[in-house]
């Protein structure tokens, strides 16, 4: 059985967070670990019952509405819990992850660390602080090709949560990131 631990995979849009989550889940599957994968029910971009990367890698997942739903899905055979798009969950996710780790579960969380304004997003800052392992991935700036750490929203929506893909967001470096407040 695993020693309980929390791994966080974070970064901007298009940096490969979900792809890395899927890679780790596939390794756990090869190791014959009991796996539970969840994602926010609101994320239906690539299908309701799977996590999928922008590069078409995918893994079966259960859509949930609240972090508390995770606890009802965990069984005595669950060794690994994967959580995708964690930024869309509220702060109760932090305590759920703590409880899972106390139960000797390996928890792997993937999510945006910053929103489209480059501000800390959802429960991610707390999860990053509690993590035993953090991987902050970078994308490639669509303007200059430098390492990108920001998600540039290409639409004018002021809503914090706006699910999107290539036509609605672009990866940007510090130099080419344009905070939305500067355009209003």
Asked about 68 being catalytic, the answer comes back as no
Q: How many angstroms separate the CA atoms of 35 and 52, rounded?
A: 16
184: which residues sit within 8 A by CB, 6+ positions away? none
Which one of 68, 85, 159, 178 is the catalytic residue? 85
- Taken in order 127, 130, 133, 138, the sign of the CA dihedral is positive
In this structure, what token pair is assigned to residue 110? 């993937």
Residues known to be catalytic: 85
């Amino acid at each position: 059985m695993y020693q309980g631990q929390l791994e966080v995979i974070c970064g901007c849009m298009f940096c490969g967070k979900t792809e890395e989550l899927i890679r780790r889940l596939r390794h756990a599957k090869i190791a014959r670990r009991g796996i539970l994968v969840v994602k926010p029910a609101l994320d239906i971009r690539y299908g309701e019952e799977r996590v999928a990367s922008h590069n078409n890698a995918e893994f079966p997942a259960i859509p949930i509405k609240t972090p508390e739903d995770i606890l009802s899905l965990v069984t005595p055979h669950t060794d690994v819990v994967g959580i995708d798009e964690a930024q869309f969950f509220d702060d109760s996710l932090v305590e759920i992850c703590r409880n899972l780790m106390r139960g000797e579960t390996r928890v792997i969380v993937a999510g945006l660390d910053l929103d489209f304004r480059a501000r800390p997003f959802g429960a991610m800052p707390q999860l990053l602080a509690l993590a035993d392992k953090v991987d902050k991935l970078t994308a490639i700036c669509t303007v200059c090709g430098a390492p990108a750490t920001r998600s540039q929203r290409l639409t004018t929506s002021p809503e914090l949560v706006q699910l999107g893909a290539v036509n609605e967001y672009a990866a940007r470096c510090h130099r080419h990131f344009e905070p939305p407040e500067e355009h209003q």
